[in-house]
């Protein structure tokens, strides 16, 4: 086998999570999708990539015997983007189109949601749009968002559509300690 000096470019990316408690309303589902799209945008920027297509999906638990549903929508990002605002707006449009029933409750309890990005290209090779000056504002805003969150910690500054209650977050009360990745989890011995 030959040794590769250059890391191969990514062709796709996904940010998905199981919900800590079932998501039964469109508002809670939109908060989760906003959080996933925000994380996807951060990952794209860290790799210097932009995405041309986005798929949003959500589904119920197929194993618990409750009503089953699985929905997804795909949208084209034109021009390809890695800005938080563009990805969140597209993700929310896809979520609204895939939602079945009324705004409050459609009878399903969704347990998993996510955002998948395809047709990734390096930022410098992305096609330029006629309205590139509008995207420049969004690029600066995304850079400011990243700078604040890098300096003061993740989720210090979030979009309002992500919500503050975050009932969709995965429960981590039974998670084992992360000795290899967090100094705070290392056991302390005193003599």
pLDDT tens column, 65-92: 777 888 899 999 888 888 888 999 999 9
Tens of pLDDT, residue by residue over 104-162, are 667 788 889 999 999 898 888 777 776 655 666 777 777 777 777 778 877 776 777 77
CATH topology of domain 12-185: Dna Ligase; domain 1 (3.30.1490)
Residue 73 makes CB contacts below 8 A (sequence gap 6+) with 55, 56, 94, 95, 97, 98
Do the Cβ atoms of 144 and 152 come closer than 8 Å?
no
Q: In 13-165, which ranges are continuous DSSP H helix? A: 26-47, 84-98, 132-152
């Amino acid at each position: 086998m030959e040794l590769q000096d250059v890391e191969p470019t990514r062709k796709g990316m996904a940010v998905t999570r199981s919900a800590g408690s079932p998501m039964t309303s469109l508002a809670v589902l939109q908060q989760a999708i906003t959080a996933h799209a925000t994380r996807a945008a951060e990952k794209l920027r860290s790799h210097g990539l932009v995405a041309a297509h986005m798929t949003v999906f959500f589904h119920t638990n197929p194993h618990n015997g409750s009503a089953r549903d699985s929905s997804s929508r795909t949208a084209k990002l034109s021009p390809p983007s890695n800005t938080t605002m563009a990805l969140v707006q597209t993700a929310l449009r896809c979520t609204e189109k895939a939602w079945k029933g009324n705004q409050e409750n459609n009878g399903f309890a969704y347990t998993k949601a996510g955002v998948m990005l395809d047709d990734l290209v390096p930022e410098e090779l992305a096609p330029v749009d006629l309205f590139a000056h509008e995207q420049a504002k969004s690029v600066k805003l995304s850079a400011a968002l990243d700078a604040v969150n890098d300096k003061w910690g993740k989720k210090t500054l979030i979009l309002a559509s992500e919500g503050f209650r975050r009932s969709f977050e995965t429960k981590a009360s039974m998670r084992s300690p992360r000795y290899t990745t967090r100094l705070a989890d290392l056991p302390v011995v005193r003599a």
